[in-house]
Each structure stands twice: as structure tokens, then as C-alpha cells.
Structure 1
Amino acid sequence: MINQSVNDDEITIDLTELFIALRAKIHIILLSGILMALLAFVGTKLFITPMYTSVTKLYVLSRQDSSSGVTYNELQSGAQLTKDYAELVTSRPILEQVIAVLNLDMEVKDLEGRITVDTPTDTRILRINVEDENPKKAKEIADVLREAVSNEITEIMHAESVDAIEDGSLPTEPSSPNFMRNMILGGMLGVLVSFVIVMWMFIRDDTIKTPDDVEQYLGLNVLTSIPIKENTKRGKKVKGLSANKAMKNMRR
């Protein structure tokens, strides 16, 4: 029980000293976070190419929807078919057709990586997003892709009609990269790294700095101490004596 009490006291003292050490270095930790956030901003600005996203929307009307008395189940079935239509958007024949029409200097996989398709819940609307470095080129790809998809859906899925809700938008601002997100992540990384370094230095530091350290590490009572004036200039920096070295000297 006595040993357990001593260990608990030592843990409490260590955590308290660690907290004090971190508080003393809080300005360094915050400065590291700010510096890393600035580096993330500069790196994003210089090394990441801005990308623009053009959005176009389609509405698909199936043959059964054109009849009277459409039930809820039929509407649900139409919404499910919309997911099938979405798969056609990034199919190889359609992408090859878009590349041929616009004479794009890219492979099918490259073009597929720039296209995302989503369908709002319980709707028969296809929302096609096309990303490119050039905003005008992104719009052109979106428009040609919309036309190609409309023809394929009509021929393959035998849809009643495919109407364009929105033509490809002409983006005026880049959709990526996200400067704010990168700066926040960079700042968090800087704070975390500096926090770990300060904590590691605290754990590795076993130098004797106060009379309490002498009693704790060496088990000796301090009879007196010599105060040093704050304004006194030192010719050379005197390093603290570590507890391990002090113990060795005591044994000698």
C-alpha cells in the first residue's frame, strides 16, 4: 500500500510538471501551428493546380410515367432506374464519344476520374459534375456528355424522354483545392508535432534544477542554496547536472 501510494504521488507530480512544461512552451506550440498553416497555404497555392467544376442536370421520363395513374411504386421504380442511368454516364462508349467529339488529349480513365454522378434521393434527376483545369473546357465536356448520355438512355433503356434541366454551368471560381481545409489540417499537424516534441524533451530531461529535485532523485537533504541575481551576466552557460550523473558522482 505504501509503494502504491508513492507511485501514485510520483505520477501526479509528473503530470503536473508536464502540464507546467507544456504551458511554458505554449507560445512555441501555437507558433508552430501558425507556421505550418502558412506553409500549407503557400504549398497549396504553388504546387496544387486549381480545378473548376461544371454541373449539368438531366430529368429522365420513363414510358410508364407518361401514362395516367402513376403509383408510388412506379415512382420508386423510376428512381431506381435513375441509378442505372448514372452508370451509363461513365461507361466506356460514352466517354470515348466525348473524347472523339472534343478531340481531347486524354485517356478514358483520365476522363472518368474527372466525372462524378449523383442522384438526389427519391428523384429521377441525374446531376453530372465535370472537373477540369480550364472552366470553359469543363463546361464543354459537361454539355457533350449530357447529349451523349441522353441518346444512350433513350436507345438502350427505352426511356420516353430525357430533358436537360440545366446546361453545363461556367464556373467562375475553382472548386478545389480547399485552402481553408488545408490550412486547418496544416495548423493541427504543426500543433501536434510541436506538442510531441515538447513532451519528449520533458520526458528525456533528467537534469536537477531545484532543491526538490535533489531530495526526490538523490534522497539527500539540501542544507542551503546560493541565490543568483537575475541581472547578473554569465560568461558561460552552465548546464544542469542530470540525476544519473549525480548518482554516479556520489558513488565515486
Structure 2
Amino acid sequence: MEKTINLKELLQSLKKRLFLIIIFTATFTVISGIVSYFFLTPIYQSSTQLLVNQAKNKNEVYSPNEVQTNLQLINTYNVIIKSPAILDKVIEKENLEMTSGELEKLISVSNEQESQVVNITVQNENPQKSKNIANAISTTFQKEIKSIMNVDNVSILTKASVGSLIKPNIILNMIIALVVGLMVGVGIAFLLEYLDKTIKKDKDVEDQLGLPVLGTINIINIDSDTKKRGSNMYINETRGDSIGS
């Protein structure tokens, strides 16, 4: 027998196990919040900006060729900033207990297309340390690039400030956990409904046994007044029989 999906029955199934769905949703959300707040290591981020541009006197004008040269140098600068030649001096300056390779993983260098501004971003577990490392990288690079490439076209545009928290995002994690918990709860509710083979109504007989229902016996609810009247009638009839005999 081909079975059809009844939306009303699905909603009734969810309503019947609403408490179970709420339990799963709340549990996932609370666990996510606890793990995010107490167990995940917070990471802070600080950023500084460098301007790649040759310093000029008032009477000098900017040449398009110089701008294009600076833009071409930026890709090279991005590599040099993350090189041991710069990072080893930063580690020594800040007394960091890590290698240049480990420090490199905490740094990202980027620039907007056709922009002479280089962004240096540092992530660290300590907000103050992320700031110090970012500023140390910018000042060290500005100093060392003069001897590395024999140019003096880098200036610090913006210094880094105390790092801001970027992860974990507790609110986002809890929202994701809430959705996942809701989906799990709904899935388990449907699974329990699918595994429940008990016959509760006449339609279940047709669906599970494939037999037509010829008739049903309804349950008659007798209230207390009716029961009392019935008892009195029985007592009176009993007394009448006793007297007649």
C-alpha cells in the first residue's frame, strides 16, 4: 500500500515530542557557550599599516612611473616582511619564545589592489603582545629595508592598537549549536515516530496490517452523577425484590 506524507501528522508528531526537541536544542546551545567561553583559547588581532612611497620635497612632483615601481615592489615587500631577516630581529626585540616559522604563522600581510598601503595583521593569545609584535614588525621592516634593498620608500601610516578579540565568536557558535540541536531534536523525534509500531487509531490498522476497518467501538464516559443515579436505582430495585419476596 502506497503511503502518503500527511503534513498534519508530521506537525502532531513534532508537537508530541516538543519537550524532547527543546531539551536537545537547549543542551547543544548551552554546551557550545560553555566550551566557547571556558575551553577555547581566545585569539586577539592587531593591525598596522605601511605606506610604500618615496618621501619628496615640496617642489617635487609625483611620477606615474614611481608609483608603478612602488606597486611592483609591494609584492616583494610582502615576502620580506615575513622572512627570517625581519622576524628574527622582531623575536629578539620582543623576547619571544618562538621561532621565525612559528611567528610567521601568526602574521598575515596584504594590500588592496593598486594600493600602496600594506596591512600587517598579527594574531596572538595576548592582546598587548599582538599590538607589540605588529608595531615591532613595522618599525623593524622600515629600518631594515633600507639596507636590504637600498631604498627608503616605506613609512608607518598607522600604528597598531591593543588587539581585539576575533575568536571564538561565542554568539555565533551558540547560534550554530542552536540550529544543529534543533535539527538533531527534530530528526530524533521523527525517528522515534517511525520506530513506534503501536496501534493507536483505526488508520494504523489500515497502514500497518493492510486490513479494512469494519467498525469501531467508542469509549463511553460516565460521569459521577450518572453512576450515582445508577447505584440508587440498583439499590431500590434490590429492596423492592426483597420486600416482594
Q: Name the TM-score, length of structure 1 as normaliser.
A: 0.74
- SS of the residue corresponding to residue 126 of structure 1 reads strand
The Cα of 1:152 is off from its aligned counterpart by 3.9
Partner amino acid for 1:196? G
The Cα of 1:47 is off from its aligned counterpart by 0.5
| Counterpart-to-counterpart distance in 1, 2:174 and 2:147 | 48
* Root mean square deviation, CA, Å: 2.9
The Cα of 1:178 is off from its aligned counterpart by 0.9
The Cα of 1:49 is off from its aligned counterpart by 2.0
- Percent identical residues: 29
Q: Is the 8 A contact 2:145 2:152 kept in 1?
A: no
The Cα of 1:23 is off from its aligned counterpart by 4.1
Q: Cα deviation per residue 1:144-195 (whole Å; 9 max; x = unaligned)?
A: 1112222343333444421001122123x42322111111111122112112
| Counterpart-to-counterpart distance in 2, 1:12 and 1:139 | 59
Question: Could you tell me which residue of structure 2 aligns to residue 181 of structure 1?
Answer: 172
The Cα of 1:68 is off from its aligned counterpart by 4.1
| Rg (Cα) greater in structure | 2
User: How many pairs align?
Assistant: 219
Aligned pairs (5 A) from 1:1-252? 7=2, 10-13=3-6, 16-61=8-53, 68=61, 70-71=63-64, 75=67, 78-171=70-163, 173-218=164-209, 219-227=211-219
CA 1:68–1:196 in 2, change beyond 3 Å: closer, same or farther?
same
| Counterpart-to-counterpart distance in 1, 2:104 and 2:47 | 15
The Cα of 1:63 is off from its aligned counterpart by 9.0
Q: Is the 8 A contact 2:53 2:67 kept in 1?
A: no
Partner amino acid for 2:199? I
The Cα of 1:228 is off from its aligned counterpart by 7.9
The Cα of 1:208 is off from its aligned counterpart by 1.1
Gaps of 5+ in 1: 1-5, 230-252
| Counterpart-to-counterpart distance in 1, 2:161 and 2:148 | 27
